[in-house]
């Protein structure tokens, strides 16, 4: 059947939506997937009535509850991409409907422009989903009011606006201001006065008697500078556009613009296409490769796909300190830290090896995993616990808390954390597995990861000095010669410090720990120490130097000597064969890239 | 109403009633006692306590309880999931009827269609009431950080819980060290740390903010104890260090590097040193007044040097006489030599009749909440005999305080999971013997299984006290009244 004229118009009308939806979902899923990973790993939604009640304690908490529910669905990034795009499409659609209702014409420019700005802002991974959700809900409520409520019915939002404020916090102001504009235009002063009067009274009573929050918090929650990814100007600008939208669409100039046509073709109908086209540039520029790389590494890390993580970072080397930090843990967990340390851009101050204690949540979040790796279960738990206290539960740190309690045999406490995990949407299987380990020491011992960590836990007590993580490594290796992970970290730190004597002195300890061959980087240290006659060599029974390594050093050293007056030339000459060696780091270290950036 | 609607409304009700299981026919007897959670078997109950809801920890098809009083009264409760929750009204009536007598719990369980009868357990209903309110601080048993801290009031006669102070109202400043004078909320104070920090006193129903840190003091004031007259508050002023153990057995070590005792004169707004250690040879902490106000008890250890081993710090119990009129102190005397038994004393708390002093005894140091071995001991102040209370467990017991009638002792115990403290209540008889304690009852008997916050410093109170968020904000925003230092 041939399409009718009406059908053609509808196709033209909806084509930008379809395109926006399709391309938007593709874009987020393909290029900005890390956003969903970051948000999903930063909170933990619980499907309990108690959790809902906890989100009804102050104005705006309910909106946060809804946003957390949305974020929990980001477990599947494609769902996240779809939700973000559908949400924005819906808002654009509603703004168009509102515009049509108020002006009698279909506005195209402003709704798509607002949608485009929100779409682009979401590309920043720090931009919280609560922002778009808050806006969409308020626009939706405004549209409902226009569409379904008559003159008398419009007393409902007037009387219930204070409830909207309670549920959605500062975001309710979007509806409040849009509706106020409408009431003001219609000179319905009584409704206007009652609406704000009731809300103001509710605010005063709430602030005085109900809500244990600062007054500033009650006014702006859940709106915050951090949650908008520090994009204050575009965000406030967008909010201003939305709030003034009912007025703007009725302006004569807006009407004229929407009617402006060349040869009966309205130019405004091309506006969505132009806006969509214009979005390509900020969307392309907005792809955050550095963070994308980091979050992919973190994803592999949480999935314990250490081999994949190492391969990925070898294929795509990173200067990001946190990326290298996680890679080092993956190397240590697979027993290759002192084999492959110099394959990655290490920070000579040790910050890619050890986390420094700071009550900054992002540091706490990652630091726990380092201590877990080297077998300091108590300390790993402390870092994870501090994060939980400051920021609430997150999936990975809650799992770490469960693991540490299981390892320590604190089953009652582990059971409490497992109960929390059981009430999530997507982590129930893991909770069920953990529950199976409760009160069963042999089951914990049999678990490959937990059993190994239990064996590796600190054998001799000492006080942790977080300002100097090396002391902890020293203490562990003194108390337990079999803790290879701690030993590898110690060796790595000595290598980074170019302390060859220190490394060589650890060779007997390595033999005791069960090493049957020298890890590559350590062997390079030993060869250098030996061939440059820097000191006495300890007597070794199992660990032997490979003659090929000695030949390699001689080749390296000869080339280096030949080019040492021109370091850049030396670098060029040695890079191909020796870039990942200790020798390159020691002799050409100043030219090596350093990991200096954080996420 | 049409007859068929009656069916629609009442059929499900009939169905529900008919499904409520009750032992009938032959009942098999089991000799094994049932495990219930919380363990409320064979305890002494205050006659005004809220229902002791509990759950049977045994999987079965149905459960049935007959709760009968020696002096009369009967409650019959059936359950599908093992949870027994009592009607507040019926419970209160049963306790009132059986004051000074026993109530007996007879539980039946249905397994594979057969009903089993289990051995009866009982509670003694004391004639002594407990103070109707309990105050405590709820927080995460964490290390350095906090976000949500609140001082909470819980009615012991019901399950009603009310916030007294929540730190979010003042921008997440740390709220700590609340203290009543003899369970009387008219004399109440708490500390707040941070940018709105200060010591807040209730004065005529309002909050007064005072800065108790003067330039003469090296450290702030902690561990407040009201003088019975309400005119003074004794404090310790401590320099604290927190260290973290690498091994699981202990998590945190909190030690004082130095400490001394201070007296705050509320009327004169003056702080003065309690002159018991002019040469600074000791670390004095944990002040406690005798009920007549004539003595100040405290814990004392030798001053440590720069290099010290934390396990060598042991505190003894001391006291010094005090004349409230002249603010004069006598000379200090040792009351309990914990060092002699290689132990350390903290948290002395004297019963309102002045006969018993209960303290926490642990291996070393002055912060027992992280010491698994910490137990409560009672010292008879007449003959100085000391005995370990029978309420202790293999986990930490500490933070105890007396009810106003001196018959009930509330304390924090970590016996549940070793990490989170819960308030336990025990009856202490005239001979200083404590009954088996019971954990503060909750409406949901499984509440403690999932709750991950800890109960800190539980204190009984005779009446209600709370502040509206607005009152707290206004008090916090005010400039603190600066206390003056007095050398006399």
Q: In this structure, are strands B206-211 and B481-482 parallel, antiparallel, or unpaired?
A: parallel
Phi then psi dihedrals of residue B136, to 5 deg: -155, 165
Comparing C-alpha atoms, which of A218, A199, A224 is closest to residue B469?
Answer: A218
Q: Which of A109-113, A123-127, A343-347, A462-466 shows the lowest mean pLDDT across its residues?
A: A462-466
- Is there a contact between B140 and A389 if contact means CB atoms under 8 Å apart? yes
> B100 and chain A: CB distance < 8 Å anywhere?
no
What is the Cα–Cα distance from B451 to B447, expressed in whole angstroms?
6
pLDDT at A358: 72
pLDDT band at A294 (very low <50, low <70, confident <90, very high): very high
The sign one gets for the Cα dihedral B324, B328, B332, B333 is negative
In chain B, residues with a C-beta closer than 8 Å to the C-beta of A209 are 468-470
Of A570 and B390, more confident: B390
Interface predicted TM-score (ipTM) of this complex, two decimals: 0.88
pLDDT at B178: 74
Comparing C-alpha atoms, which of B259, B131, B264 is closest to residue B208?
Answer: B264
> B420 and chain A: CB distance < 8 Å anywhere?
yes
pTM: 0.91
In chain A, residues with a C-beta closer than 8 Å to the C-beta of B417 are 410, 412-413, 415-416
pLDDT digits (tens, 9 = 90+) for B317-329: 999 999 999 999 9
Q: Which of B145, B195, B243, B246 to mutate to test the interface with A (most CBs of A within 10 A)?
A: B246
Q: What is the mean pLDDT of residues A183-209?
A: 94
Q: CB of A139 within 8 A of CB of A242? A: yes
pLDDT at B197: 80
pLDDT at B145: 65
Q: What distance, in Å, lies between the first and last C-alpha atoms of chain A?
A: 56
Q: Give B156→chain A minimum CA distance, Å.
A: 22
Q: Which residues, 6+ apart, have CB-to-CB distance to B71 below 8 Å?
A: B97, B98, B101
Of B203 and A513, more confident: A513
Of B150, B251, B449, the CB nearest to A378: B251
Show which of residues 496-555 on chain A sit within 8 Å of chain B, judged by CB atoms.
none
Contacts 24+ apart (CB under 8 A), B356-361: B356/B380, B356/B381, B356/B406, B356/B428, B356/B432, B357/B288, B357/B297, B357/B317, B357/B381, B358/B389, B358/B400, B358/B402, B358/B409, B359/B317, B360/B397, B360/B398, B360/B400, B361/B388
Q: Which of B148, B194, B247 to mutate to test the interface with A (most CBs of A within 10 A)?
A: B247
pLDDT at B256: 94
Compute the CA torsion angle B237, B239, B241, B242 (nearest 10 deg).
30
pLDDT digits (tens, 9 = 90+) for A350-407: 889 988 777 666 777 888 999 999 999 999 999 999 899 888 999 999 999 999 999 9
- Is there a contact between A461 and B142 if contact means CB atoms under 8 Å apart? no
pLDDT at B464: 86
pLDDT band at A254 (very low <50, low <70, confident <90, very high): low
Average pLDDT for chain B: 90
> A209 and chain B: CB distance < 8 Å anywhere?
yes
Give chain A's radius of gyration (CA, Å).
30
Q: Which residues, 6+ apart, have CB-to-CB distance to B221 below 8 Å?
A: B191, B199, B212, B213, B235, B236, B237, B262, B264, B271
Q: What is the mean pLDDT of residues B134-146?
A: 82
Nearest CA in chain B to A204: B470
Comparing C-alpha atoms, which of B304, B395, B409, B300 is closest to residue B357?
Answer: B409
Highest mean pLDDT among A92-106, A273-287, B121-135: B121-135
Q: What is the mean pLDDT of residues A535-563?
A: 91
> A212 and chain B: CB distance < 8 Å anywhere?
yes
Q: What is the mean pLDDT of residues A195-224?
A: 93
Peptide bond into A263 cis (omega under 30): no
pLDDT at A93: 94
B293: left (phi over 0), alpha (psi -120 to 50) or beta: left
Structure tokens at B257: 């590097």
pLDDT at A377: 93
- Is there a contact between B417 and A413 if contact means CB atoms under 8 Å apart? yes
Q: What is the mean pLDDT of residues B109-124?
A: 95
pLDDT digits (tens, 9 = 90+) for B348-397: 999 999 999 999 999 999 999 999 999 999 999 999 999 999 999 999 99
Give chain B's radius of gyration (CA, Å).
25
pLDDT at A3: 46
Nearest CA in chain A to B168: A213
Q: Give B142→chain A minimum CA distance, Å.
A: 7
* Percentage with pLDDT > 90 across chain B: 72
Q: Distances from the Cα of B212 to the Cαs of B70, B177, B215, B486, in angstroms? A: 55, 14, 10, 12
pLDDT at B331: 94
pLDDT at A270: 75
What is the Cα–Cα distance from A168 to A137, expressed in whole angstroms?
9
pLDDT at A259: 66
> A19 and chain B: CB distance < 8 Å anywhere?
no
pLDDT band at B99 (very low <50, low <70, confident <90, very high): very high
- Is there a contact between A416 and B450 if contact means CB atoms under 8 Å apart? yes
User: Per residue, what are the HEC states of A329-375?
Assistant: HHHHHCCCHHHHHHHCCCCCCCCCCCCCCCCCHHHHHHHHHHHHHHC
- Is there a contact between A212 and B171 if contact means CB atoms under 8 Å apart? no
Q: What is the mean pLDDT of residues B393-422?
A: 95
Structure tokens at B143: 């290390």
Q: What is the mean pLDDT of residues A65-83?
A: 97
Show which of residues 219-278 on chain B sit within 8 Å of chain A, judged by CB atoms.
243-251, 253
Q: Is B128 helix (H, G, I), strand (E, B) or coil?
A: coil
Q: CB of B345 within 8 A of CB of B299? A: yes
pLDDT at A591 over 50: no
Q: What is the mean pLDDT of residues A305-318?
A: 96
Highest mean pLDDT among A164-173, A365-374, B175-184: A164-173
Q: Which of B248, B307, B444 to mutate to test the interface with A (most CBs of A within 10 A)?
A: B248
Q: Which residues, 6+ apart, have CB-to-CB distance to B78 below 8 Å?
A: B20, B21, B22, B62, B63, B64, B65
Structure tokens at A211: 């809500």
pLDDT at B73: 94
> B145 and chain A: CB distance < 8 Å anywhere?
yes
pLDDT at B476: 86
pLDDT at B8: 53
Q: Distances from the Cα of A301 to the Cαs of A77, A305, A312, A325, A493, in angstroms? A: 17, 6, 11, 11, 22
What is the Cα–Cα distance from B386 to A21, expressed in whole angstroms?
78
- Is there a contact between A460 and B247 if contact means CB atoms under 8 Å apart? yes
pLDDT at B111: 93
- Is there a contact between A386 and B145 if contact means CB atoms under 8 Å apart? yes
A392: left (phi over 0), alpha (psi -120 to 50) or beta: left
pLDDT at A201 over 90: yes
pLDDT at B477: 87
Q: Which residue has the tokens 């204070």?
A: A162
- Angle B150-B156-B159 from CA coordinates, rounded to 5°: 70
Structure tokens at A36: 């969903």
Q: Is B265 helix (H, G, I), strand (E, B) or coil?
A: strand
Q: Which residue has the tokens 């009407």?
A: A255
pLDDT at A365: 83
- Structural domains of chain B sorted by starting position, each given as residue range(s) with its CATH number in brackets: 20-125 (2.60.40.10), 133-482 (2.120.10.30)
pLDDT at A6 over 70: no
Q: Give B254→chain A minimum CA distance, Å.
A: 12
In chain A, residues with a C-beta closer than 8 Å to the C-beta of B168 are 212-214, 217
Show which of residues 432-471 on chain B sit within 8 Å of chain A, judged by CB atoms.
449-452, 468-470
> A269 and chain B: CB distance < 8 Å anywhere?
no
Q: In this structure, are strands B344-350 and B356-362 parallel, antiparallel, or unpaired?
A: antiparallel
Of B147, B420, B469, the CB nearest to A390: B147
Q: CB of B77 within 8 A of CB of B87? A: no
Comparing C-alpha atoms, which of B265, B172, B271 is closest to residue B219?
Answer: B271
> A163-187: b or e for each residue (b if 16 or more CB lie within 10 Å)?
ebbbbbbbbbbbbbbbbbbbbeeee
> B450-483: b or e for each residue (b if 16 or more CB lie within 10 Å)?
bbbbbbbbbbbbbeebebebbbbbebbeeebeeb
Structure tokens at B189: 């104070």
pLDDT band at B78 (very low <50, low <70, confident <90, very high): very high
Q: What is the mean pLDDT of residues A507-525?
A: 93
What is the Cα–Cα distance from B357 to B297, expressed in whole angstroms?
10
> A49 and chain B: CB distance < 8 Å anywhere?
no
Q: Which residues, 6+ apart, have CB-to-CB distance to A63 below 8 Å?
A: A130, A133, A134, A137, A167, A168, A169, A171, A222
pLDDT band at A169 (very low <50, low <70, confident <90, very high): very high
The 10 Å Cβ neighbour count of residue A125 is: 21
Phi then psi dihedrals of residue A6, to 5 deg: -60, -45
pLDDT at A263: 62
Alpha helices in B327-482 (DSSP H): 447-450, 469-477
> A422-459: b or e for each residue (b if 16 or more CB lie within 10 Å)?
bbbeebeebbeebbebbeeeeebeebeebbebbebbbb
In chain A, residues with a C-beta closer than 8 Å to the C-beta of B421 are none
């Amino acid at each position: 059947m041939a399409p009718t004229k009406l059908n053609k118009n509808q196709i033209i009308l909806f084509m930008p939506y379809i395109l926006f939806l399709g391309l938007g979902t593709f874009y987020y899923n393909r290029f900005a997937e890390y956003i969903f990973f970051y948000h999903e790993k930063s909170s933990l939604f619980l499907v309990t009535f108690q959790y809902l009640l906890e989100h009804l304690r102050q104005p705006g908490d309910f909106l946060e509850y809804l946003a957390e529910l949305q974020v929990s669905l980001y477990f599947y990034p494609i769902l996240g991409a779809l939700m973000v795009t559908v949400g924005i499409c819906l808002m654009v659609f509603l703004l168009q409907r509102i515009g049509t209702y108020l002006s009698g014409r279909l506005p195209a420019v402003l709704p798509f422009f607002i949608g485009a700005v929100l779409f682009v802002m979401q590309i920043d991974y720090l931009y919280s989903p609560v922002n778009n959700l808050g806006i969409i809900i308020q626009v939706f409520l405004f549209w409902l009011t226009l569409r379904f409520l008559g003159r008398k019915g419009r007393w409902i939002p007037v009387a219930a606006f204070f409830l909207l404020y309670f549920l959605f916090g500062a975001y309710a102001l979007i509806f409040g201001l849009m509706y106020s504009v409408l009431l003001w235009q219609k000179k319905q002063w009584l409704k206007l006065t009652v609406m704000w009067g009731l809300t103001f009274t509710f605010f005063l009573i709430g602030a005085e008697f109900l809500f244990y929050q600062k007054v500033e918090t009650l006014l702006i929650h859940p709106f915050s500078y951090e949650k908008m990814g520090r994009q204050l100007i575009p965000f406030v600008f967008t909010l201003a556009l939305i709030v003034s939208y009912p007025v703007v669409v009725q302006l004569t100039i807006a009407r004229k613009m929407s009617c402006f046509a060349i040869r009966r073709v309205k130019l405004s109908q091309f506006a969505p296409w132009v806006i969509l086209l214009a979005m390509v540039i900020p969307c392309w520029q907005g792809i955050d490769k550095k963070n994308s790389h980091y979050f992919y590494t973190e994803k592999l890390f949480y999935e314990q796909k250490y081999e994949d993580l190492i391969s990925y970072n070898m294929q795509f080397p990173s200067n990001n300190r946190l990326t290298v930090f996680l890679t080092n843990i993956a190397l240590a967990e697979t027993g290759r830290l002192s084999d492959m340390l110099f394959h990655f851009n290490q920070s000579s101050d040790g910050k890619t090896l050890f986390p420094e204690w700071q009550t900054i949540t992002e540091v706490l979040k990652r630091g726990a995993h380092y201590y877990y790796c080297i077998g300091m279960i108590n300390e790993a738990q402390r870092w994870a616990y501090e994060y939980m206290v400051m920021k609430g539960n997150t999936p990975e740190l809650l799992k770490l808390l469960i693991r540490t309690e299981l390892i320590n045999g604190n089953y009652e406490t582990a059971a409490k954390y497992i109960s929390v995990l059981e009430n999530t949407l997507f982590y129930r299987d893991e909770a069920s597995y953990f529950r199976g380990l409760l009160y069963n020491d042999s089951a914990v011992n049999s678990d490959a990861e937990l059993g190994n960590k239990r064996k590796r836990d600190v054998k001799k007590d000492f006080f942790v000095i977080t300002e100097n993580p090396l002391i902890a490594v020293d203490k562990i290796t003194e108390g337990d010669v079999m803790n290879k992970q701690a030993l590898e970290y110690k060796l790595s730190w000595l290598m980074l410090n170019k302390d060859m004597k220190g490394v060589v002195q650890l060779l007997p300890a390595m033999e005791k720990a069960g090493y049957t061959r020298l890890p590559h980087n350590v062997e390079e240290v030993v060869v250098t120490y030996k061939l440059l006659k820097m000191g006495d060599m300890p007597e070794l029974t199992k660990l032997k130097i490979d003659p090929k390594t000695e030949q390699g050093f001689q080749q390296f050293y000869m080339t280096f000597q030949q080019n040492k007056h021109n370091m850049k030339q030396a670098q060029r000459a040695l890079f191909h064969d020796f870039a990942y060696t200790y020798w390159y780091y020691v002799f050409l270290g100043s030219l090596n890239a350093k990991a200096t950036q954080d996420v | 109403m049409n007859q068929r609607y009656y069916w629609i409304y009442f059929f499900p009700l009939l169905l529900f009633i008919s499904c409520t299981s009750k032992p009938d026919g032959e009942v098999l007897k089991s000799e094994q006692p049932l495990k219930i959670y919380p363990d409320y078997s064979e305890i002494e109950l205050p006659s005004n306590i809220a229902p002791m809801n509990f759950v049977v920890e045994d999987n079965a098809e149905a459960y049935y309880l007959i709760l009968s009083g020696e002096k009369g009264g009967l409650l019959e409760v059936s359950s599908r999931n093992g949870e027994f929750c009592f009607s507040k009204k019926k419970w209160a009536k049963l306790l009132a009827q059986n004051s000074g007598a026993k109530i007996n719990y007879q539980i039946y369980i249905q397994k594979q269609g057969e009903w089993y009868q289990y051995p009866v357990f009982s509670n003694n209903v004391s004639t002594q009431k407990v103070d109707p309110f309990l105050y405590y601080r709820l927080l995460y048993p964490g290390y350095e950080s906090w976000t949500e801290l609140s001082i909470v009031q819980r009615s012991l006669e019901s399950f009603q819980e009310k916030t007294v102070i929540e730190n979010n109202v003042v921008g997440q400043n740390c709220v700590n060290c609340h203290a009543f004078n003899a369970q009387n909320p008219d004399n109440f104070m708490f500390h707040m740390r941070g940018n709105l920090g200060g010591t807040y006193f209730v004065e005529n129903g309002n909050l007064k903010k005072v800065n108790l840190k003067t330039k003469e003091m090296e450290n702030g004031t902690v561990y407040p104890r009201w003088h019975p007259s309400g005119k003074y508050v004794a404090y310790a002023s401590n320099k604290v260090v927190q260290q973290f153990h690498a091994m699981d057995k202990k998590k945190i070590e909190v030690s004082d590097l130095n400490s001394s005792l201070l007296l705050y004169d509320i009327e004169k707004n003056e702080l003065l040193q309690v002159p018991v250690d002019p040469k600074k040879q000791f670390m004095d902490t944990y002040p406690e007044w005798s009920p007549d106000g004539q003595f100040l008890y405290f814990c004392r250890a030798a001053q440590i040097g720069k290099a010290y081993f934390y396990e060598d710090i042991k505190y003894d119990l001391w006291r010094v006489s005090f004349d409230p009129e002249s603010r004069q102190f006598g000379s200090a005397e040792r009351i309990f030599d914990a060092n002699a038994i290689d132990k350390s004393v903290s948290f002395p708390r004297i019963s309102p009749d002045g006969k018993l002093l209960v303290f926490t005894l642990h291996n070393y140091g002055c912060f027992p909440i992280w010491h698994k071995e910490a137990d409560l001991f009672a010292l008879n102040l007449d003959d100085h005999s000391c005995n370990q209370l029978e309420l202790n467990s293999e986990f930490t017991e500490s933070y105890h305080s007396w009810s106003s009638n001196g018959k009930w002792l509330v304390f924090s115990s970590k016996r549940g999971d070793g990490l989170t403290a819960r308030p336990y209540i025990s009856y202490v008889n005239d001979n200083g013997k404590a009954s088996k304690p019971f954990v503060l009852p909750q409406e949901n008997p499984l509440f403690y299984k999932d709750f991950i916050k800890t109960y800190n410093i539980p204190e009984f109170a005779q009446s209600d006290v709370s502040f509206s968020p607005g009152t707290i904000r206004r008090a916090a925003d005010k400039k603190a009244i600066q206390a003056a230092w007095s050398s006399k």
